[in-house]
Amino acid sequence: MPVEREKYSRAIEDYLKIIFELLEASGRVSTKQIAEALDVKPASVTGMLQKMSAFKPALVNYRKHHSVSLTPEGRDIALRVIRRHRLIERFLQETLGFSWDKVHEEAHRLEHVVSDEFEKRVAEVLGDPEFDPHGSPIPTRELEMPEHSQKPLSELDKRERAYIREVPDEDEGLLLYLEEVGVVPGARIEVLERSPYDGIMTLIVMGQLQNAVLGPSITRRVFVEKKR
């Protein structure tokens, strides 16, 4: 049975979402990171963290100058928003024909206003998709995040082959470029070259005429998996 849920503000939903994502990516979160990700000042983040930790039930565990983590309640909200975001991205792409570089921003706005009914129907229409257009897993109806055993493209050695699994979703220009060179989820690639100092990698992308040349700021955020 769906729990009787309070309605939290857009701001709080975005904070919880980004905290979840930062924790998932690197295991820890700093005030500064949150501030940069949300494009607000660190002072604002401190204020919001204090507020969210004072909520009943608390949404975050906060020890000043030390750690930030999510309470079960906060995690739940984060996962709900992430589920909506990713479902909406898929929906925009499949049902409305949005290109993959445009879905993120639109979903970022819609994720805060759609009802449970909307979410349910979108999931139905799409047939409960497992991934968003950038390859990120969509939390299930029960808010379980599917495990994805993948590693950064930057860790592949020369001659190694793999499948692209997930690409960063916020940078529209990057997405346009990645699409052009065929570095999209599901693509099969082989590392043709990697320079040891600057980390630039040259990839053969199956089915593409040209090779893809990517710097480390990209390859560290593109994830691959060995098996299909």
Partner DNA sequence: ACTATTTATTAGGCTCACCTAATAAATAAT
Partner DNA sequence: ATTATTTATTAGGTGAGCCTAATAAATAGT
Binding site for DNA (CB under 7 A): 9-12, 30-33, 35, 38-51, 62, 64-66
**Cα separation values, 181 from 39, 55, 194, 195, Å:** 30, 47, 17, 20
Minimum Å gap between C-beta 9 and DNA is: 3
- Residue 13 CB, shortest distance to DNA, in Å, is 9
**6 is a site residue for a second copy (CB under 8 A):** no
Sort residue 135 into left (φ over 0), alpha (ψ -120 to 50) or beta. left
Element (H, E) at 189: strand 188-194
| Residue 177 partner contact from a second copy, DNA, Mn ion, none using kind-dependent CB cut-offs of 5 to 8 Å | none
State how far the Cα of 164 lies from the Cα of 83, in Å rounded to an integer: 22
Maximum Cα interatomic distance, the chain, rounded to a whole number of Å: 57
Q: Least separation, in Å, of the C-beta of 170 and a second copy?
A: 17
Q: Which does 117 bind (CB under 5 to 8 A by kind): a second copy, Mn ion, DNA, none?
A: a second copy
- By a kind-dependent CB cut-off of 5 to 8 A, residue 226 interacts, out of a second copy, Mn ion, DNA, none, with none
Residue from 155, 157, 107, 161 nearest 134 by CA: 107
Give the containing element (helix H, strand E) for 213. strand 212-214
Sign of CA dihedral 26, 31, 34, 37: negative
According to the binding rule CB under 8 A, does residue 94 interact with a second copy? no
DSSP string, 114-126: --HHHHHHHHHHH
Residue numbers 101-120 binding a second copy by CB under 8 A: 102, 105-106, 109-110, 112-115, 117-118
Nearer to a second copy, 114 or 200 (CB): 114
The smaller minimum CB distance to a second copy, of residues 52 and 122, is found at 122
Sequence-ordered list of residues with C-beta below 8 angstroms from that of 77, at least 6 positions apart, any chain = 8, 12, 13, 16, 59
Least gap, CB of 115 to DNA (angstroms)? 19
Q: Select the binding partner of residue 110 from a second copy, DNA, Mn ion, none (C-beta < 5 to 8 A, by kind).
A: a second copy
Could you say which of Mn ion, DNA, a second copy, none residue 125 binds, taking C-beta under 5 to 8 angstroms by partner kind? Answer: a second copy
Are β-strands 212-214 and 151-152 bridged in parallel, bridged antiparallel, or unpaired? Answer: unpaired
Residues that bind a second copy (CB under 8 A): 92, 95-98, 102, 105-106, 109-110, 112-115, 117-118, 121-122, 125
